[in-house]
A and B are shown apart, each in its own frame.
Chain A
Amino acid sequence: AQTVTQSQPEMSVQEAETVTLSCTYDTSESDYYLFWYKQPPSRQMILVIRQEAYKQQNATENRFSVNFQKAAKSFSLKISDSQLGDAAMYFCAYRRAGIRNTPLVFGKGTRLSVIA
């Protein structure tokens, strides 16, 4: 079974600084997708960024970027120029690739605080 581990239950960052959230996963599959979701107090899970395992290039979305190390099964999220609105729970998630949708497997989450 696939597992996703987020080893940092809580992190904090100063506004405008950079923070990196860690995620490791375990799978025997070669084709899969990885995601970072953000869950603010409103509770809605918002997709931050995704990475296809077959792509070597790390995904970026504005201030958000990932460091995808397939061999090490590591998928960290870097948030640059942190803003107060970035404060939320962040979940790393894995999904096996396939023609048909497969369930998302989530880590336990990292609570990020942004200090003004």
Chain B
Amino acid sequence: KAGVTQTPRYLIKTRGQQVTLSCSPISGHRSVSWYQQTPGQGLQFLFEYFSETQRNKGNFPGRFSGRQFSNSRSEMNVSTLELGDSALYLCASSSDGATEAFFGQGTRLTVV
């Protein structure tokens, strides 16, 4: 079974631009969660999507948004990028009600 796939692996963007990250979950998993990882703040929850609906949301500004498609693939969008948005963005997929989450390799976003 294929694991969680995130694309692209690396991105460099300029302040003020927007960016879209993609995540394909494990086949059969309908829950996709996004986390931001930075050296200062550690791992922080962004949001979770299940069956195309946002079910949980972390404490991030509205510049961070996401969506999920009918095939469970999810995209995360960050608008008006700031230097502080530079981070590793991790996607995790789960079966609903499952205890564990399986992570992708992440997208390293650098904002210059």
Where the two chains meet, the residues of A that have a C-beta atom closer than 8 Å to any C-beta of B are 33, 35, 37, 42-47, 50, 52, 91, 95, 97-109
Contact, CB under 8 Å: A108 / B42: yes
Q: Could you tell me the distance between the alpha carbons of A99 and B43 in the complex, rounded to whole angstroms?
A: 24
Q: Could you tell me the distance between the alpha carbons of A43 and B102 in the complex, rounded to whole angstroms?
A: 13
Q: Could you tell me the distance between the alpha carbons of A47 and B103 in the complex, rounded to whole angstroms?
A: 9
Q: Interface of chain B, helix or strand or loop or mixed?
A: strand
Which A residues are CB-close (under 8 A) to B106?
43-44
Q: Could you tell me the distance between the alpha carbons of A61 and B52 in the complex, rounded to whole angstroms?
A: 35
Contact, CB under 8 Å: A101 / B88: no
Q: Could you tell me the distance between the alpha carbons of A18 and B8 in the complex, rounded to whole angstroms?
A: 38
Where the two chains meet, the residues of B that have a C-beta atom closer than 8 Å to any C-beta of A are 31, 33, 35, 42-43, 45, 48, 50, 55-56, 58, 88, 90, 92, 94, 96-106, 108
Q: Could you tell me the distance between the alpha carbons of A99 and B92 in the complex, rounded to whole angstroms?
A: 18
Contact, CB under 8 Å: A33 / B55: no
9 A-B pairs with CB atoms under 8 Å apart are: A43-B106, A46-B103, A101-B97, A101-B101, A103-B45, A103-B48, A104-B45, A104-B92, A106-B43
Q: Do A45 and B100 form a contact, CB below 8 Å, given A101-B50, A104-B45? A: no
Tell me which of A98, A104, A108 contacts B101 (CB under 8 A).
A104
Tell me which of B92, B94, B100 contacts A50 (CB under 8 A).
B100
Closest to A35 in B: B100
Contact, CB under 8 Å: A99 / B97: yes
Tell me which of A37, A42, A43, A95 contacts B99 (CB under 8 A).
A95
Tell me which of A43, A100, A103, A105 contacts B88 (CB under 8 A).
A43
